Structure 1
Amino acid sequence: MNLLPRAASVIALSVSFFASAGAMAQDAQPAHGPVKNIVLVHGAWVDGSGWKPVYDILTKDGYHVSLVQEPLTSLEDDVAAARRVIDLQDGPAILVGHSYGGSVITEAGVDPKIVGLVYVAAHAPNVGEDEGSLGKKTPSYTSKQAGAVEKTADGYTYLNPAVFPKDFAADLPLSQAQFESHGQILTAAKVFSTPLTAAAWTTKPSWGVVAASDKIINPDLERWYYERAHSHTTVIRGASHSVYESHPQQVAAVIEDAAKHAQQ
């Protein structure tokens, strides 16, 4: 008389187990739809606040956006800061880097949660390379100016406030560029000469934005990076190194394109 209830219980438990196992297996599979998590990484001498125009567009369009605030004390410290934010993401993410932030995302982007990379007027070295050496081969306008980049006694660099507006942010309002010039995050000189130990762009899809009037990084170097990485490349005419602030709609469009297509 007790066999039927027991049998029903066994069947119910079996169905529950296989349903749970199926759900777990489904969760373990990589998603193939649009990515909703975006992680933004700033470059040298600035902080994450410059991303606000892009952040506002992406969040309005339904993306979950996180910003990394690097200490700019060493490449290792900055990559670690990016990894902490990546760890907080609840699923696949697009990792975006501006300028020196490109070196940071190139290393941090090997994280399995990262499914695509976006380089915005950024460096993209390979394993064993450093952006300083690559920059010397294709020098920028700024690097040719004596006294443009200053260095403190303890080895931290900053851009001379007198040249910051025209070199870093020529297409921003002058008052904004001047404010940013006096709010720089001094950056350890060694970050520019530390060889990379990983290069995520060799195994993951990437997108690149060339700031065609960039004076901090030679636009030809940006093009070379993106061509080597087989990146989907967008050239923004007349854009300064602050392209993410001056042309946020175009930069956000590239990031959204990456989010929509990185897993296809």
Structure 2
Amino acid sequence: MSFGNVNVVLVHGAWADGSSWSKVIDRLSQLNVRAIAAPLPLTSLNDDVAALDRVLERIEGPVVLVGHAYAGAVIGSTRSPNVEALVYVAALAPAEGETVGDVFYRGTTHPQAPQLAPDRHGWIWLPQDAFARAFAQHATPDELAVLSAVQRPISVSCIGEAVGRPLWQDRPSWFLVAAQDRMIDPDTQRFTASRMKAHVRSLEVDHTPIVTAPDAVTEVIVEALRSVSAR
């Protein structure tokens, strides 16, 4: 299987870092696909987009850009000309003028979802027990231990900044709806995927399938890769 010179850039969400993509990176590597995990500071949406753009500037050739959860807002806000397709994984995809918070709080809150509030420094941390209850309820104890150990807080600034015209209005997109998501309402995911006119795959996975269902995530990315490499 060959995808030419198409690259994949993977963008982590809140309470995670690039290591959350390790299983997907391994599977893409087996397909001879070059994958890069872009690090985000999670200090503001503008800062995160700037960090992503610095990664994209270093890449030659077309890019399939993949975002998990909060990172959906980040990948939709880049203007990098080498991005040919977008893949959203259990993600938030604000439309023009919306904030991350607008989309996140649009739907019904799952009864096991954590109560989130910033600390006195303006950082939002995920409570320890929320990893097993809501963030990745299908994860193994070892996976949960790693997710909890590497968690990075997200600044409250990230969720309050309105986005401009999102890139999904100008590029083809794919959306993996996590039907057992306890963090982002699956109905919200379906709504946003529909208005994006994305290629939708709805699967019985939790909020973090990049860890708990990496084969399924890789399959969606490969669909996008096939589309880009065929042009």
Partner of 1:245: 211
Matching residue's letter, 1:212? A
Match of 2:69 among 78, 89, 99: 99
Tell me: CA distance 1:38–1:199, structure 2 relative to 1, closer, same or farther (3 Å): same
Give a deviation string over 1:125-152, Cα, whole Å, max 9, x none: 111111211222213326x85x632421
Matching residue's letter, 2:50? A
* Aligned residues between the structures: 228
Partner of 2:169: 202
Tell me: CA distance 1:188–1:240, structure 2 relative to 1, closer, same or farther (3 Å): same
TM-score, length basis structure 2: 0.93
Matching residue's letter, 1:250? A
Partner of 2:98: 129
Tell me: CA distance 1:195–1:92, structure 2 relative to 1, closer, same or farther (3 Å): same
Give yes or no for the alignment of 1:192 onto 2:159: yes
* Equivalence map 1:148-163=2 (5 Å): 148-163=115-130
Partner of 1:73: 43
For 1:40 and 1:211, the matched residues in 2 are separated by 18
Match of 1:232 among 164, 183, 199: 199
TM-score, length basis structure 1: 0.82
Deviation of the 1:36 alpha carbon:
2.0
For 1:246 and 1:166, the matched residues in 2 are separated by 14
**Structure having the higher Rg:** 1
Give a deviation string over 1:39-88, Cα, whole Å, max 9, x none: 00000111010101000011110111111110000101100111011111
List gaps (5 residues or longer) in structure 2. Answer: none
1 or 2, which has the higher helix percentage? Answer: 1
Deviation of the 1:205 alpha carbon:
0.2
2:8 is paired with a residue whose SS is strand
Partner of 2:87: 118
Q: Which moved further from structure 2: 95-104 or 181-190?
A: 181-190
User: Which ranges of 4 or more aligned residues in structure 1 deviate by more than 3 Å?
Assistant: none
Sequence identity (%): 33
Match of 2:23 among 15, 31, 53: 53
Task: Work out whether residues 20 and 147 of structure 2, in 8 Å CA contact, stay in contact via their aligned partners in 1.
Answer: no
Task: Work out whether residues 93 and 103 of structure 2, in 8 Å CA contact, stay in contact via their aligned partners in 1.
Answer: no
